[in-house]
Structure 1
Amino acid sequence: MTPGVGILGTGLDVVDVEAFAAQLNEPGTSFARVFTARERREARSRAAAHAPGGAGSGRCDPGSDGAVPCREAPGPADAN
C-alpha cells in the first residue's frame, strides 16, 4: 500500500438480494466469518432505514424508463 493512500479501489457487486439474504441465513454459512460485526451492524441498520416506512424509504423512485435514480447514500467513511 502506498503511504498516504487510504483506498486502492472501489467496486460494486450486483447480486440478487433475496438469494444473498437466504445464503446469509443458512446454518453453517461461511458468511458469518467473512463480514465483520461492524459490517453486519451497518447492513442491518441500512436495511431497516430503507425498509418500507423506514427513515430512508422513498429515497429511490423508479423512473419512467424502469431505472431507479437514487441520491448518493453515505458510505462507511461517512459513518465515523
Structure 2
Amino acid sequence: MSKYLSMNKKKMIDEIKEYQKMLREVLDLYIMLQEIYVNEKGGRLEDTEDIEEKLEEDIEQMSLLTKTSEKRNNKKLKEEIKFRERK
C-alpha cells in the first residue's frame, strides 16, 4: 500500500514539474507580448516588469515546494526501508 502511495506522490511531483515548464513557456510568451504592446501602443514598461517579477516569484515558490515535497517523500521512503529491514 505504501509503495502505491509513494508512486502517486512521485507522479504528482512529475505533473507539477510539467506544469512549471508550461508556466515558464507562458511567462516567456507573455513577456514577448508585452514587449510588442509597449513598442506598438506605448505604455508603461514598469507595469509589465512588476507582473513579470510576480510570475517569476510564483514559479520559484512552486519549485521550492516541489523540492521540499521530494525531500519529505525520500525521507519517508528511507524510514520505511529501515523499518522493513528491522523486521
TM-score relative to the length of structure 2:
0.28
Q: Which has the higher helix share?
A: 2
Larger RCO (CA within 8 A; separation ≥ 6): 2
Structure showing greater radius of gyration is 2
